Structure 1
Amino acid sequence: MDIWDKLYESAKDLYKPRELSDFVYANHVVAAIEGADGKIYTGFCLEATSGVFHLCAERAAMFNMYQESGQVIAKRILAFRDKPPYGGSSGMPCGACREFLMQCSLENSNTEIMVDFETREIVTLEELMPLWWGTERQVQWEENQEDH
């Protein structure tokens, strides 16, 4: 079993789409992230129609990873609905998730994201965000952290 199979197996049982109320629904997208330490962290989406609360599966998995380990670097991400990513945009993180990953660490530009589970096609976050607006600011912040 390769790492992508492990990621899929870790997240697939979380896929249980349901409405928590007439305004809130959950579990219709799930994700698994391999952290820098090689451990797998999972999450599912939770959305409210008011727009006040919307947490994608990828950000939920990142939150769980940080909460459990203090890590902010994701080596790999697999996100899906009822079946593994099958090409195109079927497994792609939304813009907010892409932005959040970049804001956590510039190292996340190397994060591999599954495009097609069957063929094992992947892209990196850098390929999805080639000219990220926050690079200079993040580099300065990281340099300041090293000085302290």
Structure 2
Amino acid sequence: MNNAEALLAAAREAAEQAHCPYSNFHVGAAVRCSDGTVVTGCNVENASYGLTICAERVSLFNCVAQGLQPLELAVSCVDAQNNTSLSSRMPCGACRQVMQELLPNNAIVHIDGVGQRRINQLLPEGFGLN
């Protein structure tokens, strides 16, 4: 199993922990950090929908909280149907913005069932204060 496959497997496993009683859409994410550590996260829904947080942000925020430097990310929407458009597997805009902020400029994002994308492909001309 190569690094990308292992990272996607960790994301799929993380999806099993999702708290998604409203959407029943389990999502997991896994981040490989500069020291080789893999940090995972899952989506956590809330009855007040605005308080819901996506798996990608949970995993990246966990990296920051642990003092780790994220290098690449994998995301898996395990409940996405095989016959639906690829857009149901893609990270949302908020997650893309957080990825741009916390991952290196040329970071690869592995999207289960879609393939690999670089940050600038997911969020061209993204917002920044640099």
| TM-score, normalisation: structure 2 | 0.76
Which residue matches 1:143?
Answer: none
**Gapped regions of structure 2 (runs ≥ 5):** none
Q: Aligned partners of 1:115, 1:15: CA distance in 2, in Å? A: 13
Q: Which residue of 2 aligns with 1:126?
A: 120
1:44-101 CA distances to partner (integer Å, 9 max, x unpaired)?
0001131341110001101221222x13x432221112279x7833542110011112
How far off its partner does 1:126 sit?
Answer: 0.9
Q: Distance in 2 between matches of 1:94 and 1:25?
A: 15
Q: How does 1:107-118 map to 2 (within 5 A)?
A: 107=104, 109-115=105-111
Q: Name whichever structure is richer in strand by fraction.
A: 1
Structure 1 residues 95-114: aligned runs within 5 Å: 95-104=93-102, 107=104, 109-114=105-110
Alignment of 1:1-148 (within 5 A): 1-16=1-16, 28-68=26-66, 70-71=67-68, 73-82=69-78, 88-104=86-102, 107=104, 109-115=105-111, 121-134=115-128, 137-138=129-130
SS of 1:93's equivalent?
A: coil
Between 1 and 2, higher relative CO (CA 8 Å, sep ≥ 6) is seen in: 2
Checking the alignment, whether the CA contact within 8 Å between 2:77 and 2:112 is kept in structure 1 is no
**Structure 1 gaps, min length 5:** 139-148
Percent identical: 27
Q: Does the C-alpha gap of structure 1 residues 129 and 67 become closer, same or farther in structure 2, counting only changes over 3 Å? A: same
Matched residues in 2 for 1:95 and 1:9: separation?
24
How many matched pairs?
A: 126
Counterpart residue identity of residue 3, structure 1: N
Query: What code does the residue aligned with 1:32 have?
Result: A
Do 1:77 and 1:112's aligned partners in 2 also have CA atoms closer than 8 Å? yes
Moved more, 26-35 or 55-64: 26-35
Instruction: Decide which structure has the larger Cα Rg and report it.
Output: 1
- 8 A Cα contact 1:80 1:90, kept in partner: no
TM-score calculated relative to the size of structure 1: 0.68
